[in-house]
Structures are given as C-alpha cells and as structure tokens.
Amino acid sequence: MKLIDGKMTAAAIKEEIKAEVDQMIASGMKRPHLAAVLVGHDGGSEAYVKNKVIACEKCGFKSSLIRMEADTSEEQLLACIKQLNEDDDVDGFIVQLPLPKHIDEQHVINTIDYRKDVDGIHPMNAGRMALGLPSFISATPLGIITLLQRYNIPTSGKKCVVLGRSNIVGKPMAQLMLQKQHGDATVTICHSHSKTLKEECRQADIIIAAIGRPNFVTADMVKEGAVVIDVGTTRVEDPESKSGYRLNGDVKFDEVAPKCEYITPVPGGVGPMTICSLMKNTLAAAKGEFYAKS
Ligand code: NAP
C-alpha cells in the first residue's frame, strides 16, 4: 500500500506557481490577484477562506477577503460581485459556499463573470469542461486528477466508480475521469438511490468517494489492488483532539488501506490539493490562459 501525500504534492505545486509568478513580475506583469467573498460566519468556511489567504501568500499572489454579514441581501451580494467583475486588478474570485438560505445560490453563480470564475462553477465553465474545452475546472476534481498524474497512476481503460453526484465534486469528477485527455476511464456514478453501489465498488480499479458519510466505504467493498481516493471531510467529535473534533473521510481507512495499491489519507490527501488547484486556476486567469483578458 502506498499513501498519496496531498500535502507534499500541493506544497511542491505552490512552489512551482511561486517561481512562475516571480518570473511574471520580473517581466513587468502585475501580481495575480484572487479575491474571496465570505457571507456570514460559518466555522468551516472561515477556516477554508483563511487557508486560501495563506496559500495566496505562498504563491506570491495578492489576496483580498470581502466579509459580508449573514443578513446581507441578495441584491447587496450581487452588487459586490458586479464590482469584482469590473475590477481590472482582480484576476479571479470565489464566493464561498454555502450561502445563507435566503440567497439564491445559482443566481449568484450565474452573475460571476465566467472569465474570473476560478472555482469553475459558472455554467459556462461547467459546460465547457463537460465538452472537453479549455475552462476553469472545479478545484477538488482538478486536484484529484493532478494527484493521479503526479503519482503516475494509470487510469486509461480502468473501471472508475465515483460515489456522489454533486455539481462541485461528483459530476465534474466523473466527467474528468471519462474524458480522453484526462482519465480516459470507464466511469460509473453512484448516489443515494443507487441499488448496486457495493457491487459496483467491488469491481472498481479506482474508487473516488465524495458523499460526506464517515467510514462509508468498508473493506468488503474494495477489491485487492484498488486505488481509493477519499474526498469526504466530515467533522466528527473527538474528545482526544484539542479542538474537540477531527475530520473523518468517507473511507474506513484502517481496514481499507491494506487492500489498496494507493490510498489518500484524511486529512492530508485531497484537501490540500483543492486549495492548490484554486491557485492554479488563479494563475491561469492572470495569464488569460482560457479566455482573453478584456
Ligand atoms: P453533497 O453536495 O452533499 O453531495 C453528496 C453526494 O453524495 C450526493 O450526490 C448524494 O446523493 C451522495 N450520497 C449521500 N449519501 C449517500 C449514500 N449513503 N450512498 C450513496 N450516495 C450518497 O456533498 P459534496 O459537496 O459533493 O461533498 C462530499 C464530501 O466531500 C463532503 O464530506 C465534503 O465535506 C467533502 N469535500 C471535500 C473537499 C476537499 O477539499 N477535501 C472539497 C469538497 C467537498 P444524492 O444526490 O442522491 O443526494
């Protein structure tokens, strides 16, 4: 069994990005700028946004954080997004999800200029990605594809089972694994209504679990020599930890790991790669890699 070290891989990629940014600055280009909008005070979102700011520093990016109160109206948030769309200094921005219930999330996403949508969630990017056209790719799936590539894990012609069908993880992940230029695999997607989920998993060469159910994938669902990627990060109570909780993956690591050829840990697997992919997307936005700068 080999452990896929997302923390180390992400650190190496951030150094590569920093070297490229240094060259850009030396050649007279402006510093890439990522902005984040945080509405309300959700603990998980606060931590995630803080990590993004730290990652920006590591990559040599400028970062700005726009905080709005939980009772911010949809109109106020849309006005803020329009300002970011028009701000020439901002290369890319993210609106941290989930948003408070009174705000229509899809409406907000549709308002983001797709050329600055470094989270890859605007329909233009999701659609272009599905067609295999150059676009910003949702950060978590992009991070997983990058991990598979960096560890030289063969995917072409393999049977891959993706657990979960959310718009930000499951669906784009399955699309990437399917596409010839990325995974080139035979892909099955399972969700909460799938009747043959366990049987599908048992036949899989690669399992990507993104359902948010701690310890859901057990040893009896995994064949010998499989590659298991655990996206799940659920906070579970842990009296032994300082904070009183720990992050638990979707995979019952202790019993599944001995059967795997490769497996990602939680934490330290997919999580660090998500933020690192956001940095890659921001660099691409600053360079006008997918869409010409206006
Ligand atoms: P989500 O929007 O809640 O989607 C969960 C998906 O899992 C849904 O498609 C759901 O099926 C399916 N599902 C739920 N229970 C199931 C069950 N018992 N059997 C089969 N399928 C089941 O979640 P998400 O945003 O995709 O995130 C999934 C997990 O990944 C969460 O733990 C989240 O915290 C984590 N995550 C981690 C990162 C990272 O960077 N490490 C990034 C994003 C998300 P239905 O469609 O039928 O409801």
> What's the gap in Å between 109 CA and the centre of ligand 1?
20
Per-residue pLDDT tens digits of the chain, which is 294 residues long: 999 999 999 999 999 999 999 999 999 999 999 999 999 998 888 888 999 999 999 999 999 999 999 999 999 999 999 999 999 999 999 999 999 999 999 999 999 999 999 999 999 999 999 999 999 999 999 999 999 999 999 999 999 999 999 999 999 999 999 999 999 999 999 999 999 999 999 999 999 999 999 999 999 999 999 999 999 999 999 999 998 999 999 999 999 999 999 999 999 999 999 999 999 999 999 999 999 876
Tell whether ligand 1 has an atom less than 6 A from the beta carbon of residue 211.
Answer: yes
Q: Where are the alpha helices (DSSP H) in the chain?
A: 6-26, 43-59, 74-86, 105-111, 123-131, 139-150, 170-178, 197-203, 253-256, 270-286
76 is catalytic: no
Tell whether ligand 1 has an atom less than 6 A from the beta carbon of residue 214.
Answer: no
170-178 and 123-131 are packed helices; what angle lies between their axes, rounded to 10 degrees? 30
Tell whether ligand 1 has an atom less than 6 A from the beta carbon of residue 6.
Answer: no
Q: CA 173 to CA 178: how far, in whole Å?
A: 9
Kindly give the number of the ligand 1 atom that is closest to the alpha carbon of 191.
Answer: 21
CB 161 within 8 A of CB 207: yes
Q: What is the pLDDT of residue 161?
A: 99
Amino acid at 224: E
Q: What is the pLDDT of residue 153?
A: 98
Tell whether ligand 1 has an atom less than 6 A from the beta carbon of residue 265.
Answer: no
Q: What is the pLDDT of residue 293?
A: 78
What contacts 73, CB < 8 A, 6 or more positions away? 102
> What's the gap in Å between 47 CA and the centre of ligand 1?
19
Q: What is the pLDDT of residue 184?
A: 98
Q: What is the pLDDT of residue 42?
A: 86
Q: CA 37 to CA 67: how far, in whole Å?
A: 6
- List domains and CATH numbers for the chain: 26-133 (3.40.50.10860), 139-272 (3.40.50.720)
> What's the gap in Å between 234 CA and the centre of ligand 1?
10
Q: Which long-range contacts (CB under 8 A, 24 or more apart) does 287-292 make?
A: 287/24, 289/134, 290/115, 290/134, 290/135, 290/136, 291/114, 291/115
